[in-house]
Structure 1
């Protein structure tokens, strides 16, 4: 679990109970899709700085990053998260049906990119994927598990559209990653030749544009990302509002995401 601000432990004396209750309300746990691991920390930092400048209690925030499907399963099993930031709309919609009084909110739209550091002929292009179905060169490609990771499902859809009904040749091996973070690691380390990754990961790591191409958004379902508040803590509601603010949206845009309105 990535902790952006440590939890203050209350003492054992009789005067600690009120303080402990206050601290608990101002402490939230966020379950966030793996693609948010680079952009969420600066959003949280900006939020906490704004609270400090306004001379109000700074919210302690713990974040767990994983595939959206894995986090959804943890929440269904009773994991005590206060906010869930998914990489799709489906998982928050399912949780809304069981968490009375809460409604999902869209906070950003992701972009898919094709990335490679092993191919010597420059950046992959939108024509690279169709060419994979004709190549005789041994290659490895990776994408996240589409059942758990929305970015993986988008990549699988893009592959299917590009194949025009064909199957990948035996010399092209598909490596399934657990989530988009692992797909990026496989590609960034050179363990695979091509990887379907989130554009935000490439922006965060300052990857040269010669190593990737942003895939056309018309080639896969819109990667609209929804969040949902799962507890009645005011701090959770407060952070959800901040995530939809102009300040947070500007950080998301600069990090390779699209405005939600672009899908409408």
Structure 2
């Protein structure tokens, strides 16, 4: 049988070990919290669903937090030019990020492509069309597109109509949304029978599949979506890690699965 002194010595050792373990855990948690940071990212509206998935994975893996603000690329660009507190910008084109770098608002040489969008002619009505070209040539009465002044997907839609020789006849029938998200809502709500949206939006839609025609890439210039680190995020670890994460294989797999093409080379 152990003596009282031995029992006391054993218990003291257990207490010391438990105390040391508790202190180590607290220091680890404190260090993790100190390293964790928060960044605010301005994101093109077409990327909303995919961004939600990416943020969840990123936060789980890094401990950082990402706040998002969605809108048309043109409007987000204007907000950034007027001092909106964003750390990074994920546009639906390459032009606006390039301009921000030239204007000294973004970090030079931090721009890179994170996705290539695919344009889709879509309707909630599964019987509306099977052949997108035939439907467009039938002169539909109401066709929704993103505003070409603010939404790169809207520019692509106009290019499609021009290349098909339908721009003159269909322009009076176009209904423009400020962003591709609003354009999608026009169609989903029935305010427009059909329209040009992002393939990713159609895939993410929870309702019936409807009619969909994936527009051939030959009918418009590539919708190359670029990200750039803004000056406010230059010293923000969360923003820097986010930009690196976008090039990670796990992130690119999500982007590809959601209906985008992934650039073969994306480095910054």
TM-score of the alignment, normalized to the shorter chain, above 0.5:
yes
2:219 matched to which residue of 1? Answer: 219
Q: Following TM superposition, by how much is the alpha carbon of 1:100 offset from its aligned partner in structure 2, in angstroms?
A: 4.6
Matched with 2:112 is 105
**2-side partners of 1:113 and 1:187: how far apart?**
12
The partner residue of 1:36 within 47, 50, 55 is 47
The equivalent of 2:144 in structure 1 is 142
Q: Of 139, 160, 163, which aligns to 1:161?
A: 163
| Structure 2 portions without partners, runs of 5+ | 1-29
What is the alpha-carbon distance in structure 2 between the residues aligned to residue 246 and residue 49 of structure 1? 16
Separation in 1 of the partners of 2:242 and 2:167? 45
TM-score (norm 1): 0.80
Q: Quick check: which one's helix share is greater?
A: 2
State the shift of 1:166 in Å. Answer: 4.1
Residues 169, 103 of structure 1: CA spacing in aligned structure 2 closer, same or farther, 3 A cutoff?
closer
How far apart are residue 223 of structure 1 and its match?
Answer: 0.5
Query: Given the alignment, which residue of 60, 85, 90 partners 2:90?
Result: 85
Q: 5+ residue gaps in structure 1?
A: 1-18, 52-57
**Greater Rg by CA:** 2
Matched, 1:69 2:80: no
Query: Any idea what SS the aligned residue of 2:93 has?
Result: coil
Correspondences of 1:191-202 after superposition (within 5 Å) = 191-202=191-202
Q: Distance in 1 between matches of 2:148 and 2:99?
A: 17
Q: Distance in 2 between matches of 1:185 and 1:169?
A: 20
The residue number in structure 2 matching 1:228 is 228
Provide the TM-score with structure 2 as the length reference.
0.79
Matches within 5 A, 1:248-263: 248-261=251-264
